[in-house]
Chains A and B, each alone.
Chain A
Amino acid sequence: MSEPLNDNRWERAVPVYGFPVITRFFLALAVLIAMAFVLSGYRELAGLGPVSGMNDAFGWGIWKTFNVMVLTALGSGAFAVGISAWVFRRKHMFSLMRMALLTSFLAYACGLLLLGIDAGRPWNFYWIVFPWKWNMHSPLAEVAICMSIYAMLPLAIENVPPVLERLWYFDSRLRPTVEKIEKRLHSVFPWVISLAYLLPGMHQSSLGALMLLAGERVHPLWQTPWLPFLYLGAAMFMSFGCVAGTTMLCCLVWKRAMDMDVLTEAAEITSWLIFGWQALRIVDILYRGAIGTAFRFDRFAGVFWIETLLVVAGGILLYQSVRSRDPQPMFLGYILSSLAGMIYRFSPTTLAFRPNPEALYFPATIEIVVSLGFISLGVAGFLVAVKRLAILPAPLNAWYDMANYFRFRRPYIRWTGYFQGGYFGSDAHKAEAKSD
């Protein structure tokens, strides 16, 4: 029974072919991006007040709390999927690694860019170069420094192999250089990857620690000493949702077959993460005695129940989809649980933040457009990358399909490279021959 279904197992990452980069959707994204850049320029000149709904009571608007706190959590795929693949050796997760790395890189890059726009005095960022000037007790310093190092070093390095691969295939003159670089990367791989798991662990939890300092102003249903850990846990199941969900969506849009083995394994991991996380949250609330506040008729209780119901529903849908191997509940499960995670990470800074009974915050239109614009930047980057680099996993024959496509459609490209092998070169093969 499983035989015909396993025919579409994902064995290789294959660029998306047959779909142009410039589509109407892409142009719409470009328009949003242009608007965002122009408005960012305006923000630099006019200050933060005229472009946003931020005020004295709510010093952080959606740029910090959504694009950075929430979207980098969605973009922790490199961390969560990576750990399950490399540390816990779940073989199937390797297929999703490149997707995870790409989404993470784009989420972090766009988030950090917007962080630079959100800072009121960004010209003083140069202090980051002097470690003795850092205030290492500040969670925000930890977040800023860790995120920057992470995005610029391990995450960037991990995203280099698909680019090198493309260079290798497209221009044989570059092959010696490419192979040299690849060898170098290979040797530092363990060190880089370990950093790629340590740093996000640190800063995703520090993002939670940020709101610890706000003390009583965060509603007791969210404020807890476990906040860093809960933020980290939320990042983990959210990012699984983002990576697997994006992969499913890509397969839908570009008509690829889905490997239900991989996806069900991802769904299983995610559902256990969700249940564990939710259990920890409930136990913590009960232990602190804050459960009473969940039964009042105010907006905090409302948000709490929405979060809880969404995440539990998402977890249940995912768990069921593992058994039934049905993509529909799986996708919905990912959407609901990611949404719940997003609301959870967003709440302590905005929805559950009460600096002052009379104050409120709602983002201004310019703020929303800039935020959307930077998200569009990430999406546009994703679209370009996924069509030019081998990121999206596919069955093996898709590779041959793609090669044929390029042979017939674009003969001036050295397509023949796509049939070649030999990553590990003659040395490894010799070693293998010896050990055999």
Chain B
Amino acid sequence: MANSVQPDKNSIRAHLEAAGVSRRDFLRLCSVLLATAPAGLALTKQASAAALATAIGESKRPSVIWLHFQDCTGCTETLLRTSAPDAAHLILDVISLDYHETLMAASGAQAEAALRKAMEDNAGKYVLVVEGSIPTRHDGVYMELGGKPAVQVVKDVSSKAAAVIAMGSCASWGGVPSSDPNPTGAVGVDTVISGKPIVNLPGCPPNPYNLLAVVLEYVAMNRLPALDELNRPKFAYERVIHENCPRRAHFDAGRFASAFGDEGHRKGWCLYKLGCKGPVTHAACSTRHFNEIPGVWPIGIGAPCLGCTEKNVVWRMATVETVPIHLATPPDTYPPINSGAGQIKTGAAALVGAIAGAVGGAAWVASQRFRSSNEAAVERVIADRKQPGISSNERSEE
């Protein structure tokens, strides 16, 4: 329904209109957001994309400052790597990216000034997104920005932030730079700063809609989503890949690819035996694939999951190492109402038959001998009564 009331100039909706983004494109973004977090997010509890669009549309554009540290810029790329070119712009139009070293035009002193201005203008209101790990060894000398060690920079910038989002595994727990022997002492953001609400979005890279959902939830609802004990939002990191994997039916039925390129691999069977870390990796990739195209994700293209969100998995376990499955969820088959039990083993049956035969035979033979035996015994008794005092055993021929 067209809204006749003029939207607030600073609202997202106004900005999108000014930027020439069609409402249809915005609605499409909202429906992707709905798919991102069907549950667990107050923002997406709205019943429809239109309702979500209204909720977001009325919010103010959030100011986002994006810092890079020991990163590969992959997490920035994931924001841009969308299948529809406008969507990237859309994401960047919904948020107000006030400082981003890769995407901004300025550099050098101008960049520093932009950062300072963004911090002052939106003090206490901006969302700080951190990409890349922070080196801490030797007083953080391994990375300096404008002459200052990274540790110092992140502490400075986060001091005025409303919330900190650690984007990617590097910022969440150290990522690639922290793998053995970790020469720079790379750690995640939450090791360095405290006192601010931190949301970890591990992944290498994570799905961009995770970030977008968290940011918009914060902006529209003024709160962060429910987090688990590692500060990861539950709507995206509560379940392991294995629980929702599209190839789960193959796992349940015992159809596995044993080698890359073999028949099972080509048929799309479960990659567990190739070392898929799905059962121990908390992430939402099995339901939300990348680039808005279904099937575009590692397992979908036949590459076993590496467990890129988990500190104890990726860079710690060999890629071909199979993981034990602790969360043993039930498979697709159902037991019948009456299940069988017990079996007849041939050895036991033969034994029973032999015993029955032996006892029966002995009884029959015994019964045949009674008459004659009793007669003989009676004769002996009569003989005894005639000749007492001599043992019958002596008397017999034996």
Contact = CB atoms under 8 A, between A and B. Distances in A.
Contact of A255 (B339, B351, B377): B377
A388 interface: no
Contact of B345 (A55, A359, A362, A372): A362
A8 B377 contact: yes
Chain A, interface residues (CB within 8 Å), range: 35 or more
Contacts of A361: 342
Contact of A360 (B344, B367, B388): B344
Contacts of A8: 377-378, 381
Contacts of B384: 395, 397-398, 401
Nearest to B385: A397
Contact of A53 (B342, B368, B376, B380): B342
Contact of A359 (B342, B349, B370): B342
B146 interface: no
A435 B136 CA distance: 119
B343 interface: yes
B191 to A, nearest CB: 51
A172 interface: no
Nearest to B370: A327
A363 interface: yes
Contacts, number: 122
A186 B352 CA distance: 45
A328 B375 CA distance: 12
A372 B363 contact: no
A53 B339 CA distance: 16
Nearest to B373: A252
B35 interface: no
Interface in B345-385: 345, 347-349, 351-352, 355, 363, 366-371, 373-374, 376-378, 380-382, 384-385
A328 B378 contact: no
Interface in B381-395: 381-382, 384-385, 388-394
B340 interface: yes
B381 A257 contact: yes
A335 B367 contact: yes
A395 B367 contact: no
A7 B385 CA distance: 9
Nearest to B379: A257
B338 interface: yes
Majority DSSP secondary structure for residues of B touching A: helix
Contact of B388 (A256, A331, A397): A397
A431 B187 CA distance: 110
Contacts of B370: 248, 252, 327-328, 331
A326 B367 CA distance: 11
Given A58-B341, A258-B374, A359-B342, A368 B367 contact: no
A372 B304 CA distance: 58
A395 B381 contact: yes
Given A55-B341, A58-B342, A360-B343, A251 B391 contact: no
A359 B390 contact: no
A43 B389 CA distance: 54
B147 to A, nearest CB: 73
Nearest to A19: B393
Given A252-B370, A363-B352, A368-B352, A7 B382 contact: yes
A130 interface: no
A278 interface: no
Contact of A331 (B344, B349, B366): B366
A94 B376 CA distance: 25
Interface in B52-110: none
A256 B377 contact: yes
Contact of B348 (A249, A362, A398): A362
A18 interface: yes
Given A252-B374, A359-B340, A368-B352, 10 more contacts: A4-B378, A5-B378, A255-B373, A255-B376, A358-B339, A359-B342, A360-B343, A363-B352, A405-B391, A408-B391
16 contacts: A4-B378, A7-B381, A55-B341, A252-B366, A256-B377, A257-B378, A258-B374, A327-B370, A359-B340, A362-B342, A362-B345, A362-B349, A365-B351, A368-B352, A395-B384, A400-B389
Interface of B: 338-345, 347-349, 351-352, 355, 363, 366-371, 373-374, 376-378, 380-382, 384-385, 388-394
Interface of A: 4-5, 7-8, 18, 53, 55-58, 248-249, 251-252, 255-258, 326-328, 331-332, 335, 356-365, 367-369, 372, 395, 397-398, 400-401, 404-405, 408
4 interchain residue pairs of minimum CB distance:
A327-B370, A358-B340, A257-B377, A55-B341
